[in-house]
Amino acid sequence: MKVINSMLILVLLIGIGCTPQSYVKTETGIKTTIDSMVVELNFYTADIVRVTKSLSGESFEKKSLSVVKEPENVPFKVKESGIHILLESELLMVQIDTQTGGISYLGSNGDTLLLEKAASATFTPFNDAGNETYSVKQSFILAPDEAIYGLGILQNGMMSQRNQQVHMVQNNTWDFSTFFQSVKGYGLFWDNYSPTDFTDDESGTEFASEVGDCIDYYFMYGGNADGVVAEMRNLTGKVPMFPLWTYGFWQSRERYKTQEETVGVVKKYRELGVPLDGIIQDWQYWGDNYHWNGMSFKNPGFPDPQKFVDDVHNLNAHMIISIWSSFGPKTPQYKILKDKDMLMDFQTWPQSGKEGWPPDMNYPSGVQVYDPYNPEARDIYWKYLSEGLFSLGIDGWWMDSTEPDHMDIKPEDFDNKTYLGSFRKVRNAFPLATVGGVYDHQRKASSDKRVFILTRSGFAGQQRYGCNVWSGDLGSSWDALRNQVPAGLNFTLTGNPNFNTDIGGFFAGAYNKSWNDGTASKNPLFQELYVRWMQYGVFTPMMRSHGTEMKREIYYFGKQGEPIYDAIASAINLRYLLLPYIYTTSWNVTNANNSFMRALVMDFPSDKKVWDMNNEYMFGQSLLVAPVLSAHYTPEKMVKVDEATGWNKGGARTKEGYPVVDFTKTKSSTVYLPKGTTWYDFWTNEKFDGGQEISKETTINTIPLYVKAGSILPIGPKVQYATETNWDNLEIRIYTDADGEFTFYEDENDNYNYEKGVYSTIPFEWNDAEKTLTIGERKGDFPGMLTERTFNIVLASKDKNVGTLNKVVHYSGEEVVVKL
- The tens digit of pLDDT for each residue in 623-676 reads 999 999 999 999 997 777 666 666 655 444 555 667 889 999 999 999 999 999
Residue 6 confidence (pLDDT): 34
Has domain 710-819 been given CATH number 2.60.40.1180? yes
Contact at 8 Å (CB) between 471 and 155?
yes
pLDDT at 522: 82
The predicted structure's pLDDT at residue 656:
62
CATH class for the domain made up of 246-521+541-559:
alpha beta
CB contact set of 334 (below 8 Å; sequence gap of 6+): 327, 328, 343, 368
Report pLDDT for 650.
46
CATH topology classification for 6-236 = Immunoglobulin-like (2.60.40)
* One fold for 6-236 and 710-819: yes
DSSP for 285-298 reads: TT-SGGGTT-SS--
- Ranges of H-type helices in 468-622: 478-492, 524-537, 563-577, 579-592, 600-603
Which pairing describes strands 318-323 and 278-281: parallel, antiparallel, or unpaired?
Answer: parallel
In this prediction, residue 549 carries a pLDDT of 85
731-755 pLDDT, tens per residue? 999 999 999 999 999 999 999 999 9
Preceding peptide of 195 cis, ω within 30°: no
Report helix, strand or coil for 799.
coil
Please state whether beta strands 729-734 and 692-698 pair in parallel, antiparallel, or not at all (unpaired). Answer: unpaired
Residues with a known catalytic role: 400, 403, 473
Whole-angstrom distance, CA of residue 343 vs CA of residue 366: 11
Determine phi and psi for 774, rounding to 5 degrees: -105, 120
Look at the alpha carbons of 455, 480, 642, 513 in this order and tell me if their dihedral is positive or negative: negative
**SS3 category, 97:** strand
Question: d(Cα 257, Cα 284) in Å, to the nearest integer?
Answer: 8
Q: How much is the pLDDT for 644?
A: 63
Domain borders along the chain are 6-236, 246-521+541-559, 710-819
Write the burial class of residue 88 (CB in 10 Å: 0-12 exposed, 13-18 middle, 19+ buried).
middle
pLDDT at position 651 is 47
- Residue ranges in the chain modelled with pLDDT below 50: 1-21, 515, 650-652
Alpha carbon separation from 329 to 174, 201, 376, 650, 773 (Å, rounded):
29, 47, 19, 30, 65
Cut 0.75: pTM above it: yes
Amino acid symbol at 70: E
Instruction: Please tell me the predicted confidence (pLDDT) of residue 512.
Output: 77
Three-state DSSP at 23 gives strand
pLDDT in the model for residue 61: 86
pLDDT on residue 355: 83
